[in-house]
Chains A and B, each alone.
Chain A
Amino acid sequence: MSTPDPLPVVPELERPEGELRSEAGPYFGDFGGRFLPEALVPALDELRETYEKAVLDPEFVAELQRLAREYTGRPSLLSEAPRFSRLAGGARILLKREDLNHTGSHKINNVLGQALLTKRMGKTRLIAETGAGQHGVATATAAALFGLDCTIYMGEEDTERQALNVARMRLLGAEVVAVAQGSRTLKDAINEAFRDWVANVESTHYLLGTVAGPHPFPVMVRDFHRIIGEEARAQTLEVAGRLPDAVVACVGGGSNAMGIFHAFLDDTDPMVRLVGCEAGGDGVATGRHSATIGGGSPGVLHGARSFVMQDEDGQTIPSHSISAGLDYPSVGPEHAWLADIGRAEYRPVDDTAAMEAFALLSMTEGIMPAIESAHALAGALTLGRELGEDAVILVSLSGRGDKDVDTASRWFGLVGDDPARADLGALRAQARITSDLIDPKETP
């Protein structure tokens, strides 16, 4: 190659010949497995068998496709973001609009798949954990659609910062249990859901909402979200005439990221970079963050070996993020593996950068992202400036931001007496620069 590579150092693959897409668990390299009580092994076996049979059953596949089309509203759009792109050094940013799915996020893809499996297993009750409430809302929605009982576990702190979603779940007929143990966030909601599951496993399916947990959850949840990447890959080829230079997604547990990354795993020549944006909270150096890959170490939590935020005794360190959906001290084992082999890279995005991106996308494109997704958008702004204006960057816009209006209003000092954490006026000035119609030198 005589032309200089415009990209910064691309991580080297240990196994470039391998079909990374074919990995099906229970292990991803050293990660994954089933670390959980023996009492739940039969339920996991039943789930795995039901799942493996279902995906080969044309009737199941047809039903899932029909629901995706007629209920979720798939395929989701791919939107150009021309004004936002100008803030990203001119790199062309394409948004995969999972925010336009029914219930407002990617979560519905997995929920409908698992709800169909629940019916196949003859179970009548769904339980789920939720952080931001998006997975809880999606699960409550599926329970309503299929006529199943539904209990959602949510950390008490999250029920406060995501009150709108709590109301939505209750209005959909679900019982919402505020979990007051531990750090009162997502990890404690998962603990409580496991406790419920072991006691009620005969009637109940635990509809885990991310690519974490014991096998088969990481593989199964990824597979139900693979459609995000498959659609986005074809749509990018159509609008850009080539594959993107990078695919960017936020990573808490990592379900939307695995969903959009998967279709690109073997696109290594030329390399499609896969960039996961973890929640940097107050900054990784402060210890108050959720950047598990960036700031954690290998360990076992919630049924899988992965990266975990833990102290030297293996006790979980509470995570922190302004985004309830990313506020989780572990990560899906496939991400841990992709980081380990260098196929994907993981970067922390702190609260401040995420909130800026939240406002900037709203003001430049009229699209209000979920704060979770805003971490990916902030990552895209940085990456775009690194890659330059010829680059094409595909961003997973995993959810919409209505649920976050309260948090954002407080952050920018729009309600109450709290001091603003950021200057909305300065962001508005930045956004104005991207307009073709307004002379930015004129004061508004």
Chain B
Amino acid sequence: MSAPDTRRLRSADALDRARDEERAALIGYLPVGYPDLAGSIDAARVLIDHGADMIELGLPYSDPVMDGPVIQRAAGSALAAGTRTRHVLDAVEALSGRGAAILVMSYWNPILAYGPHTFARDLAMAGGAGVITPDLIPDEGADWIEASEEHGVDRVFLVAPSSPPDRLAHVVSHTRGFVYAASTMGVTGTRASVSAATEGLVERTRAAGAENVCVGLGVSNGEQAAQVGAYADGVIVGSAFVRALLENEGDSSAARSALATVADDLRAGVERSRR
């Protein structure tokens, strides 16, 4: 945990870089510990090498109420294999300094158990950019807001299609880095199409004061990435990558090449998103 602070790329840096290149950013999610710790770090490197601007490292949790079957399966397998919170920090350290901002996506209880201040400190020391907390709303986040502020860690809260203007303003005012806009009412997983209403949600979130809004849930291919990237600052993809890993379980080179194919398609999508 001796990474110098200069290695840290924050979310806004990664989003600005993509903005300068006139495209949306590509953000890839992978659960730490699947197929094993080294395999998950390796998989994240493939995503970075194939154009991901940010990596969300999922901290596997026993009760993931916001995750669909694909991520549940991979995260459950990671937990069964003994993945610990400290392994997630190890993965952050292994992946920082490679040109992508590294975030952690975690349900609240593991961070609470680790200690919010200690987690923010250790994450920053490992070179991590921030944390996405899908089941923590700012109203319950006083400790986390203080801890993340103190250690310079982005805190990414979520908005949803159901969010009314007062909630959007509330979430936006407490968020640092970017706001995570859920494209649909539901859990993680690939979907045939991304709801047309998502653009409206992004607009409303910007109107509430957000500088950066990234869209997640349901995006799985280049076409969808191009469509969402036209109005969002970043496109978040999870289940499509995890599925590529699951479908090639036990064959790491096939998994790498499947991940690369999905990433290349998505990267091409975000690159044509503003044309």
Contacts and interface: CB of A to CB of B under 8 A. Distances in A.
Contacts of B63: 182, 187-188, 191, 301-302, 316
B195 interface: no
A315 interface: yes
Interface in B23-76: 61-66, 68, 72, 76
A18 interface: no
Interface stretch (B7-15, B162-170, B240-248): B162-170
Interface of A: 33-43, 181-182, 187-188, 191, 194-195, 198-202, 299-303, 308, 310, 312-316
Contact of B134 (A37, A191, A315): A37
Interface stretch (B107-115, B146-154, B222-230, B253-261): B107-115
A199 B185 contact: yes
Contacts of B68: 195
A430 B78 CA distance: 51
A390 B139 CA distance: 50
Contacts of B76: 181-182
21 contacts: A34-B137, A35-B135, A39-B163, A39-B182, A40-B162, A41-B137, A41-B163, A191-B65, A195-B65, A198-B65, A198-B186, A198-B187, A201-B185, A202-B185, A300-B135, A302-B65, A310-B109, A312-B113, A313-B114, A314-B112, A316-B63
B110 A314 contact: yes
Q: Interface of chain A, helix or strand or loop or mixed? A: mixed
* Interface size bracket, B side: 35 or more
A300 B61 CA distance: 12
B85 interface: yes
* Interface core residue of A200, A202, A303, A315 (most chain B CB under 10 Å): A315
A178 to B, nearest CB: 15
Contacts of B160: 37-39
Contacts of B186: 195, 198-199
B74 to A, nearest CB: 13
A38 B137 contact: yes
Given A36-B135, A299-B109, A308-B109, A315 B159 contact: no
Given A41-B137, A42-B167, A195-B65, A313 B84 contact: yes
B158 interface: yes
Interface in B126-145: 134-137, 139-140
Q: Interface of chain B, helix or strand or loop or mixed? A: loop
9 closest Cβ pairs, A-B complex:
A314-B113, A39-B160, A199-B186, A314-B110, A314-B109, A194-B65, A316-B62, A315-B62, A300-B109
Interface of B: 61-66, 68, 72, 76, 79, 84-85, 108-114, 134-137, 139-140, 157-164, 167, 171, 182, 184-187
A191 B111 CA distance: 19
B84 to A, nearest CB: 6
* Interface core residue of A38, A187, A310 (most chain B CB under 10 Å): A38
A217 B106 CA distance: 24
A38 B171 contact: yes
Given A37-B65, A39-B160, 13 more contacts: A35-B108, A36-B135, A36-B137, A37-B66, A37-B158, A38-B159, A38-B160, A39-B185, A41-B163, A195-B186, A195-B187, A299-B113, A308-B109
A153 to B, nearest CB: 12
Given A42-B167, A191-B63, A299 B187 contact: no
* Interface core residue of B137, B163, B171 (most chain A CB under 10 Å): B137
Contacts of A42: 162-164, 167
A201 B163 CA distance: 12
Contacts of A199: 184-187
A199 B85 CA distance: 29
A287 B160 CA distance: 39
A35 B185 contact: no
Contact of B167 (A41, A191, A195): A41
Contacts of A310: 109, 113
Given A199-B187, A313-B84, A36 B65 contact: yes
Contacts of A316: 62-63, 109
A34 B113 contact: no
